[in-house]
Amino acid sequence: MKKVLIIVSLLVVLGLAALAYLVSQTKSKSPEANVELAVGDLKVHVFYNRPFKRGREIFGELVPFGKVWRTGANEATYLETNLPLEFNGQVLKPGKYSVWTIPGPDSWVIIFNKKYPSWGVSFDGESNYNAADDALRIEVPVVMQDKEIEQFTISLEKVDEGMELIFLWDHTLVVAPFRLSAQ
């Protein structure tokens, strides 16, 4: 019985070590990032993972058009806000939301979902997004730019009229304007 416990313990330790190694290798290819914006009492935080282009065709290939994307790599991307935000006249209540997108050649649908799964995709590579848990959806235009962005980037910016949630990768720029909601 003692030998069985030792063998099982060794297998568990080896399994955990292998998992830690795999996670570290994945994180080196798509490192974690945190973006924060503080304006007055408002605090907005975005957590995401930043894959590299590495010579690949990104939108329409690696990230197919018309399909839900977890908006980054590894874990699901999330946005957290302490105050209500307004996107295109719709209010996003204070809370933590997973951020999903449906990229298209001319516009993206940006989705804030009440559930935030730890990984964002199942073992078969399909997103584990559920539309029934959507808190808010907006559609914003795509701007193609000459400059190529090697690493996927999300930023939060304060601008004269309000604020912007910005997605940059490859030659694609997507901007979702928002402001503090009165509600």
| Domain ranges within the chain, ordered by starting residue | 1-30, 31-180
**Token pair listed for 145:** 């730019």
40-70 burial, b for 16+ CB within 10 Å, e for fewer? Answer: eebebbbbbbbbebeeeebbeeebeeeebbb
Give pTM, 2 decimals. 0.82
Residue 8 pLDDT > 80: no
Please report the pLDDT score of residue 182 as a whole number.
Answer: 85
- Taking a C-beta distance cutoff of 8 angstroms, is the pair 113, 130 a contact? yes
Chain position carrying tokens 């503090």: 180
Chain segment 57-67, per-residue pLDDT in tens: 999 999 999 99
Mean pLDDT of 86-101: 97
Please report the pLDDT score of residue 112 as a whole number.
Answer: 97
Chain segment 151-162, per-residue pLDDT in tens: 999 999 999 889
Chain segment 24-44, per-residue pLDDT in tens: 544 556 899 999 999 999 999
Residue 121 pLDDT > 70: no
Question: Of 100, 101, 82, 102, which Cα lies nearest the Cα of 92?
Answer: 82
Beta pairing partners, 177: 164
